[in-house]
Amino acid sequence: MTQDVEMKEQAAPSNSLPSFSPSTLHHLKEIASLIETGAYDREVRRILRAIRLTMALRRKLKASALSAFLNFTLIPGSEALTRLSSYLPKEDEHAMEVDTATSAPQAPAKHSLPEIEIYCYLLVLMFLIDQKKYNEAKACSSASIARLKNINRRTIDVLAARLYFYYSLCYELTGDLAEIRGNLLSLHRIATLRHDELGQETLLNLLLRNYLHYNLYDQAEKLRSKAPRFEAHSNQQFCRYLFYLGKIRTIQLEYTDAKECLLQAARKAPIAALGFRVQCNKWAIIVRLLLGEIPERTVFMQKGMEKALRPYFELTNAVRIGDLELFRSVAEKFSSTFSSDRTHNLIVRLRHNVIRTGLRNISISYSRISLVDVAKKLRLDSVADAESIVAKAIRDGAIDATLDHASRCMLSKETGDIYSMTEPQTVFNSRIAFCLNMHNEAVRALRFPPNSHKEKESAEKQRERRQQEQELAKHIAEEDDDEF
C-alpha cells in the first residue's frame, strides 16, 4: 500500500494517470464484484473462483487494506462492520487517510448481500490466523458461525464450508477442540436439512478429526456409518475422508480396507499437499507392515518425503530382517516421532511380525533347531516364550514345521519343488480365464452400426426403393385432396 501511495502522490502534480500494478485493495474489490455477480446470477462457480483468487492473495493481506475493504463493502454503522473492525489492529492514521483518499474518487458500493458479509468474515478470520492471534480468531469464527445459522442460500455454501474449516482450526490451535463438538454436530444437522452437501462433507470430516484427535474411534465410526453419503463434491474433502476412514480401519484391525483407503487418499491428494501425502504414506507403510508386506524402496524416496519417512524406512528394514533387537533400538530412537505421528501403538503391534519374520528365516535355514537356540536368535526372554511363539506360527501356517515337545526342538519340513505340483497350473489357468473373460466383456461392450450384419443394398436397389416411396407418398396425398 505504501508503494502505491507514493506513486500516486508523485503523479498528482502532473495530472497524468500513473502505470502501476493493482493494489491488494483493488484485487479485493474485484473479488467482491465477482461474488456479487455470482450471488445475483446464482452461479456457484463464480464464488468458487473468488475463493481461489483469495487464496492466492492471502499472503498479501494487511490490516490497512482489510480495513479499507470493509469500509468500502459493508454498510456504515452496521453490526458486521463494527464487529470485524474491532478484530483488526489499529494502523497509523496517515496510512488510513491515504487508503481512504485512494478509494475516494470511486463510487462507494455499499452491499447488503449476505455473501459479501460472510466473505468479509472469512477474510478477517484468515488474517487473524496468519497473524497467530488465535483468541481473536476464535471470537471472529464464533460470530461468523452464529451469522451463518440464520442464512439459507445455496450461493453461500462454498463460503460456509471454508468458515467451518477455519472455525475448527482456531479451536484446534488453542487446544479447545472438544468445546465445539456439539456445535459441529448441530451445524451438520442444519446442513443436512438444507441439502448443503458440500457443508455436510466438510462438517463430517471436521467431526471425524475431532473424535480422532481424542482417540474416540468407536464414536467416529458410529457417526461415519450413520451419516448420509453421496457423490463427493470436493476432491480435498474426499481425500480427508479416506484418510480418516483408513485410520479408523487400522485401529479396528481391518488392515486390508485401511490400506486401500490410505493409498487411495495419497494418490488423489493434490501435489501441493505434501504434508497430507506424507501422513498418508506413514500410515500406509505401517499398515502394509502389519499385513506382512514390505513396501518398495521407491515409497521412501519420493520427492520431498525422504527426511520425513526416514524413521519408517529404518523400521521397515528391521521388520524385513526380522531382528528384534534392531527393531527395539529403532522404536526407542524415533519414539518422539512415532508419538507425534500417533503411530506408536501400531508399532507395538509390529513386534509380533518381527518375531514371525525372524522365525521364518530360521525355519528356512535349519531343518532342526532347539528352542533354546531359537530364543537366543530371536532374543526372547525365555524358552517358554519361544515355544508358544513357534506353536502359534505353525498353527497360523506362517512356517511349515513341527514342534517336538519331548526334545524341545523345532523340525522344519523340506520345501518340495513347487513346479512338481499342480498349483502353478491352477494359477496359470485362472489367469488365462481372467484374460478371456475380460476380452469377452470388452467385445460385448463394443457398439456396432445397426444392421451391419445384413447385406448392403446396391445403388440401383436404393434408387428403386426411394422411387416407390415417393410414388406412394404422392398417391396418398392425391387421395387426401379428393376426400377434402
Mean pLDDT estimate for the chain: 79
> For residue 29, what are the contacts with CB-CB under 8 A and spacing of at least 6?
69, 72
d(CA 4, CA 21): 8
| pLDDT digits 0-9 by tens, 354-377 | 878 877 777 777 777 777 777 777
pLDDT at residue 416 in the model: 61
d(CA 214, CA 246): 17
What b-and-e string marks burial along 184-212, b requiring 16 or more CB atoms within 10 Å of the CB? beebbebbbebebbbbbbbbbbbbbbbbb
Cell numbers for 199, please give them: 457443508
Cell numbers for 5, please give them: 501511495
293-304 average pLDDT score: 87
Number of neighbours of residue 161 by Cβ within 10 angstroms: 22
List residues bridging with 412 in a β-sheet. 401
| pLDDT digits 0-9 by tens, 71-118 | 888 888 778 888 888 888 775 444 443 444 344 344 444 557 888 888
Dihedral (Cα; 106, 111, 115, 120), 10-degree rounding = 60
Contact at 8 Å (CB) between 380 and 386? yes
Contact at 8 Å (CB) between 163 and 121? yes
- The distance in angstroms from the start CA to the end CA of the chain is 85
Q: By three-state DSSP, how is residue 404 classified?
A: strand
d(CA 180, CA 206): 10
pLDDT at residue 246 in the model: 92
Residue linked to cell 428403386: 464
Listing from the earlier edge strand, what are the strands of the sheet with 401-404?
368-370, 409-412, 401-404
* Nearest partner of 350 among 383, 371, 321, judged by Cα: 321
Q: Is the pLDDT of residue 153 over 70?
A: yes
pTM: 0.72
d(CA 354, CA 364): 16
User: What proportions of the chain, in percent to the nearest 5, are helix, strand and coil?
Assistant: 70, 0, 25
| pLDDT digits 0-9 by tens, 390-424 | 777 777 666 767 777 777 777 777 666 667 778 88
Number of neighbours of residue 169 by Cβ within 10 angstroms: 18
Q: Is the pLDDT of residue 131 over 90?
A: no
pLDDT at residue 7 in the model: 42
Name the least confident of 110-119, 255-264, 277-286, 454-463. Answer: 454-463
401 sits in which H/E element: strand 401-404
**Band (249; pLDDT cuts 50, 70, 90):** very high
In the chain, what are the domains? 24-90+112-210 (no CATH), 366-415 (1.10.10.10)
Give the sign of the dihedral formed by CA 54, CA 60, CA 62, CA 64. Answer: negative
| pLDDT digits 0-9 by tens, 332-356 | 888 888 888 888 888 888 888 887 8
d(CA 114, CA 79): 13
